[in-house]
Amino acid sequence: MRFDDAEVRWRKSSASGSENCVEVAFADHVAVRDSSNPHGALLGFSAYSWCSFLSELKAPGSGARSS
């Protein structure tokens, strides 16, 4: 999966520090990449899978940090 940077807007996670940053882009699918390597590999998700992932992170007891 490749996203043309001219066609999508990459958003950096608000929880990212100076290292280990993650960026997300939304188009037909959701793509996640390492912001320190923007031309590297992407993880791709369907919109349904992405929403399910976020719901699990927000669920009580998930261990995810609240922003």
**pLDDT, one tens digit for every residue, the chain (67 residues):** 556 666 788 898 777 666 778 899 998 889 998 888 888 888 999 999 999 998 998 888 776 665 5
Report the SS3 class of residue 63: coil
Quote the pTM value: 0.71
Spatial separation of the C-alpha atoms in residues 18 and 55, rounded to whole Å? 26
10 Å CB burial of residue 45 (0-12, 13-18, 19+) is: middle
